[in-house]
Chains A and B, each alone.
Chain A
Amino acid sequence: MKHSSYLIIGGSAAGIACAQRIKETMPSCDVTVLTDEPHLPYFRPLITYIINRKKDVSDIAMIGRGPYTCGDLNIITDCKAKSLSIDQKTVSTNKGDFGYDKLLIATGSSPNIPEELKDIRCDGIFALRKLADAQRMSQMLINARHVVMLGGGLVNLKTAFAIIEMGIKVTMIVQSLEILSQLMEPDDTSLLKNAILNSGINVITGKKAIGVISNNNSVKAVVLDDSKEIPCDIVCIGKGVKPNVEFLDNSGIYIDKGVVVDRYTQTNIADVYSAGDIAVTFNPITGQRITTALWTNAVEMGRCAGLNMIGIKTLYAGTFGIMNATQIGGIPFVSMGCVHTKDTDYEVYTHKTDASYRKIVFNKYGTRLIGAILIADITNAGIYRYLIREGKDITKIKGLLINHCIHYGHLMQLNG
């Protein structure tokens, strides 16, 4: 059996950020990272650039890039954790058993597959998550004419843009009334919706796919709930993610959707920590338990876990489920904190022009900033994020926030 002082299951955002943190502080200690993927760690959000070949595998590698400069991690690929024994402090894998002094569970999440599509076995169906998925899709796109995307979330939108840029027809089926329903309300989407329409992506809302017609292992059409059939060669499912907890069944680790951790990122078992998409974290304002699907959170939490694992007790500050920045069809936007305001008593200000949109959300007393959407002009978004996270009384600077003319100097007024 191999033994490591620090064993990490999952070599992505949370796992590598944790490993880096440990190595930064204690360069000589041994850190082993297990990943079931065939590839060394890579920036997962960049796999859409693999689809349309704008980047290759070496362009998206994590090790050696950005803050990930610690060279001598022992990373074992194609190594899947099958079970965990907390008594023996070992993890069993297809490559043997691994012992640990401290363990991080950072196995992330996998795409949700709707019940009605679960049993379909056929080559052209994708739920994009891993580099290998993107490589396979890239290959299949060579001969594809029409791709149907199921779900109008961020991952599917990014993928849709990557595909339409290749000159391939894309139709997006969205069950809810509008795209991006996780990140904003229908009234907030009009600028982005226009950008999507202008790009040539065909969006069908309020419809659900109930099946796929296939022939000889290849996709022929998607069937909608109004029995309409849409002929296509590739189907891409983007319906959110669920934590990869299966291998922890009967391990004694407390699970409630994901791995539940305390405010120091430790699980209910001593010396076992968790971070990233698999971990159940909390909303710092409401205290409510949440799981997230955010690279930024996975890194922050992984770094925090790293410190705790080497004995530097560090409080994890929690996060919001929504904390996204990106660009869709040439339009930048951020969505942060509490932005779904329908039927709430929050104080909400919106401002709309032909070229920009913002929605600023305060608590019902109007004293704290709790959410913000900025579309097109995202200047100083970080100040809004800071205020949302800190939960400070913003009364003195409220007008500046509503009118979007805040700058760092104004924050001093709150702190001083």
Chain B
Amino acid sequence: MSNPREIFVNIKRCTGCKTCEISCAVEHSKAKNLYSAISELPTPKARLSVEWHQTAGSIPVLCRQCDDAPCMHACITGAIKRDVRGAIVTDTDKCIGCWTCVMVCPFGVIGRHLQIQKAYRCDRCPDREIPACVESCPTKALVFKTVDEYSTNKRYAFVEEMSEAIKQDV
């Protein structure tokens, strides 16, 4: 927990293929394979999304595991906590679908599963050594490293990189 690995985004490498979205949804299905996952209910959901930006191109957007996670403190049921791996996770059983976490997440990365009225989010794949999105990314736009390995400034690493990608094209 002292120096957990995180998912970082190398925007310049992202081609917008959305393989990460599919592998994420499959990893969070019961069957854990694409063919069965497609027809599963509740529908397995991707916990990250690849968005399009006119100057930066495609941008994978996913939970930043904030140090002082606003979602965790805002939750009115105590459903969100930091687990032993240092990942912020939502306990589906405790979630009542009040969407307070959705309202306070400045990254907009908490999804709403409307079939079950529960919030869902990236959980850093607790059953895997390397998260499914990272492993499946064909261009290595997603990397799983400790903060020290990736950047000295954890909080701004993602933000700085992103604004750089955008500025270069403006």
Where the two chains meet, the residues of A that have a C-beta atom closer than 8 Å to any C-beta of B are: 17, 43, 45-46, 49, 60, 62, 65-69, 295-296, 299-300, 303, 323-327, 330, 332, 334, 336, 378-383, 385-386, 406-413, 415-416
Contacts and interface: CB of A to CB of B under 8 A. Distances in A.
Contacts of A408: 51, 59, 61, 106-109
Contacts of B99: 325-327, 332, 334, 378, 381
A13 to B, nearest CB: 9
B112 A332 contact: yes
B76 A43 contact: yes
A324 B108 CA distance: 16
B56 interface: yes
Interface stretch (B20-28, B39-47, B140-148, B159-167): B159-167
B15 to A, nearest CB: 15
Interface of B: 49, 51-53, 55-56, 59, 61, 72-82, 94, 96-100, 102-110, 112, 117, 159, 162-164, 166-167, 170
Instruction: Give the residue among B75, B99, B103, B117 with the most A Cβ atoms within 10 A.
Output: B103
Given A382-B104, A383-B106, A67 B51 contact: no
Given A45-B98, A65-B78, A382 B105 contact: yes
Nearest to B72: A67
A315 B106 CA distance: 20
A295 B98 CA distance: 13
A310 to B, nearest CB: 16
A416 B167 contact: yes
A33 B61 CA distance: 41
Contact of A381 (B52, B103, B163): B103
B61 A378 contact: no
Nearest to B69: A67
Given A66-B72, A326-B98, A416 B103 contact: no
A411 B64 CA distance: 15
B56 A409 contact: yes
Contacts of A66: 72, 75, 77-81
Contacts of A412: 53, 56, 159, 162-163, 166
Contacts of B73: 17, 67, 296, 299-300, 303
